[in-house]
């Protein structure tokens, strides 16, 4: 067995995990889910789910990775015996599922970036919709998808330290600064207040609406890259010195901050340019239609903002897509004993094939996102909390106490994993499932 790589520093892990979390989900996903309604109720639910439910699961997922030192495919069986081997498969299928269409979304982002840079922005909504139609169909999708997959593969081939850690250490600060700048700029727009109001409008009944609950759960899990094996894999390259509860708080805070900042930037733009309605019509393309159309009406400033925004989105996306590739790659390396390069080539090709239906059919992409990106992740989170809370609670405790987490923190986490997260996640899962099928059948 070759020796397992390790992160160079504590921050290497935190940046990589936060890099996986911060991605198109915070920009594209947040915009489309928030625009499906819910206002402040959606926001509040999302934040509550992150704090109460997701944080303990995030720690659990990290502990599973670190204590086994294995990839997500192998970790459950290694921790609790071969009966649990099936669970490992979930943590390979889910990242492959998301990875397949994530590259397509990255392709759209790249296209829009180049178009804003070299050609210009659409003059109005109709033109923007036509442009989005052209980038989301035909050969140009494939080019964007392939470039994105190749770039992702290049980083992952370079390894955990040489590729993933090196890239995320640079990208995360840049991304944060750019986003802060854009959110500040958006606050100066004439419709900023109206946008904030829409994002923050309170309607208590929304709190219990199934679609709001589903969107909040989906946003929390998807955005944190939780329940999918990424944190298992990344934490398997960790040493003892990291205090995982602290790292989990850092990752969740960074991710939530970026999600909120993105909302504070996107909503003012949509409202300043009267695009709010067009958003809910084509939710999945919201970002790619509304933003360019809105920015197109204010000349060169708008164009500069668009270029910065889509560059930023692409940076955010690549630090996520490398994590989506790393999970199956590390599983293949563990299970089949292939070397890194061979594994990366094999999995990248598989992702390309799996992504073809999404590349050619936006409805397929939408459905895959809802089934894999929403339901499977929530299911994964549920299984993880049961697994660490009930099946291997002693290992959980041992790992945390070996790395000097206090008794109080350990008790709190174990209590949450046993009694709080599972029932809440189960409710969220059932509500999401029913709401989704009702949506589809109506
Ligand atoms: N969290 C990423 C985002 O917000 C997407 C992602 C989901 C990445 C699951 C890896 C795993 O875009």
Please write the tens of the pLDDT for every residue from 180-222: 999 999 999 998 999 899 888 888 898 899 999 999 999 999 9
Residue 247 confidence (pLDDT) above 90: yes
pLDDT for residue 321: 98
Distance 95 CA to ligand 1 centre (A): 9
Atom of ligand 1 nearest to the CA of 255: 4
Residue 247 domain-assigned (yes or no) = yes
pLDDT for residue 241: 84
Which residue's CA is the closest to the ligand 1 atom numbered 6?
225
Residue 135 domain-assigned (yes or no) = yes
Structure tokens at 361: 């059919």
Which residue's CA is the closest to the ligand 1 atom numbered 9?
225
pLDDT-wise least confident of 45-49, 62-66, 362-366, 381-385: 362-366
pLDDT, mean of residues 228-243: 94
pLDDT for residue 27: 86
Distance 124 CA to ligand 1 centre (A): 31
CA-to-CA dists, residue 378 to 132, 238, 245, 291, 373, angstroms = 30, 25, 20, 30, 9
Atom of ligand 1 nearest to the CA of 320: 8
Task: Report the residue among 18, 21, 108 best suited for mutation to probe ligand 1: largest number of ligand atoms under 8 A from its CB.
Answer: 21
Percent of the chain exceeding pLDDT 90 equals 77
Cα–Cα distance for residue pair 268/87, rounded to 1 Å: 43
CA-based nearest residue to 246, from 45, 55, 32, 419: 55
Structure tokens at 139: 């050969």
Residue 285 confidence (pLDDT) above 80: no
Tens of pLDDT along 259-281? Answer: 999 989 988 888 888 776 655 55
Query: Is the Cα torsion angle 259, 261, 264, 270 positive or negative in sign?
Result: negative
Residue 2 domain-assigned (yes or no) = no
pLDDT for residue 281: 55
pLDDT for residue 273: 82
Atom of ligand 1 nearest to the CA of 28: 12
Distance 368 CA to ligand 1 centre (A): 14
Residue 4 domain-assigned (yes or no) = no
Residue 59 domain-assigned (yes or no) = yes
pLDDT for residue 133: 87
Question: pLDDT band at 309, cuts 50/70/90?
Answer: very high
Cα–Cα distance for residue pair 275/199, rounded to 1 Å: 14
Structure tokens at 282: 């084509």
H or E segment and range at residue 169:
helix 166-187
Residue 352 domain-assigned (yes or no) = yes
Please list the helix, strand and coil fractions of the chain in percent, rounded to the nearest 5, in that order. Answer: 85, 0, 15
Question: pLDDT band at 1, cuts 50/70/90?
Answer: low
Q: At a CB cut-off of 8 Å and minimum separation 6, what does 104 contact? A: 141, 144, 145, 355, 358, 359, 365
Quickly list H helices, 225-298: 230-235, 244-272, 276-281, 286-296
Q: Are 195 and 267 in contact (CB under 8 A)?
A: yes
pLDDT, mean of residues 111-120: 95
CATH code of residue 37: 1.10.4160.10
Look up the domain containing 315 and give its range.
Answer: 10-441
pLDDT for residue 129: 85
CA-based nearest residue to 384, from 231, 262, 240: 231
Question: Phi then psi for 122, rounded to 5 degrees?
Answer: -65, 150
Q: How far is CA 317 from the centre of its chain?
A: 9
Residue 2 confidence (pLDDT) above 90: no
Residue 100 domain-assigned (yes or no) = yes
Cα–Cα distance for residue pair 173/163, rounded to 1 Å: 17
pLDDT for residue 278: 58
- The C-alpha R_g of the chain, in whole angstroms, comes to 21
Over the chain, what is the mean pLDDT? 93
The domain total for the chain is: 1
Q: Are 148 and 110 in contact (CB under 8 A)?
A: yes
Question: pLDDT band at 72, cuts 50/70/90?
Answer: very high
Task: Report the residue among 217, 222, 372 best suited for mutation to probe ligand 1: largest number of ligand atoms under 8 A from its CB.
Answer: 222
Residue 35 confidence (pLDDT) above 80: no
Binding pocket residue ranges, ligand 1, CB within 6 Å: 20-21, 23-26, 98, 222-223, 225, 228, 230, 320, 323-324
Residue 282 confidence (pLDDT) above 60: no
């Amino acid at each position: 067995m070759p020796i397992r790589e390790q992160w160079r520093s504590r921050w290497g892990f935190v940046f990589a995990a936060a890099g996986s979390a911060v991605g198109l989900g915070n920009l594209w996903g947040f915009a489309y889910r928030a625009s499906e309604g819910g206002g402040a109720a959606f926001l509040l639910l999302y934040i509550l789910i992150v704090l109460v439910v997701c944080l303990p699961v995030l720690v659990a997922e990290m502990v599973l990775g670190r204590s086994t030192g294995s990839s997500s495919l192998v970790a459950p069986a290694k921790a609790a015996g071969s009966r649990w081997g099936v669970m490992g498969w979930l943590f390979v299928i889910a990242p492959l599922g998301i990875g397949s269409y994530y590259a397509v979304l990255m392709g759209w982002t790249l296209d829009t970036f180049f178009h804003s840079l070299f050609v210009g922005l659409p003059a109005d909504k109709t033109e923007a919709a036509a442009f989005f139609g052209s980038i989301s169909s035909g050969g140009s999708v494939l080019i964007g998808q392939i470039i994105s997959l190749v770039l992702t593969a290049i980083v992952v081939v370079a390894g955990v330290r040489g590729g993933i850690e090196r890239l995320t250490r640079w990208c995360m600060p840049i991304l944060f600064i750019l986003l802060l700048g854009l959110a500040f700029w958006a606050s100066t727009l004439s419709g900023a207040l109206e946008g904030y109001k829409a994002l923050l409008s309170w309607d208590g009944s929304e709190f219990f609406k199934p679609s709001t609950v589903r969107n909040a759960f989906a946003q929390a899990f998807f955005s944190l890259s939780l329940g999918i094996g990424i944190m298992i894999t990344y934490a398997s390259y960790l040493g003892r010195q990291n205090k995982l509860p602290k790292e989990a708080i850092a990752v969740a805070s960074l991710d939530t901050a970026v999600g909120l900042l993105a909302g504070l930037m996107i909503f003012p733009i949509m409202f300043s340019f009267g695009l709010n309605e067009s958003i809910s019509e084509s939710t999945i393309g919201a970002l790619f239609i509304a933003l360019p159309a809105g920015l197109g009406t204010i000349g060169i400033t708008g164009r500069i903002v668009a270029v910065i925004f889509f560059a930023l989105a692409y940076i955010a996306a690549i630090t996520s897509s490398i994590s989506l590739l790393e999970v199956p790659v590390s599983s293949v390396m563990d299970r089949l004993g292939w070397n890194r390069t061979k594994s990366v080539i094999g999995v990248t090709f598989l992702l390309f094939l799996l992504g073809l239906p999404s590349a050619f059919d936006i409805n397929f992409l939408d459905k895959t996102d809802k089934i894999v990106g929403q339901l499977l992740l929530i299911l994964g989170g549920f299984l993880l909390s049961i697994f660490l809370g009930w099946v291997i609670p002693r290992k959980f405790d041992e790992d945390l106490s070996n790395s000097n987490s206090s008794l109080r923190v350990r008790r709190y986490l174990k209590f949450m994993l046993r009694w709080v997260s599972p029932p809440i996640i189960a409710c969220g899962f059932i509500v999401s499932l029913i709401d989704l099928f009702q949506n589809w059948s109506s």
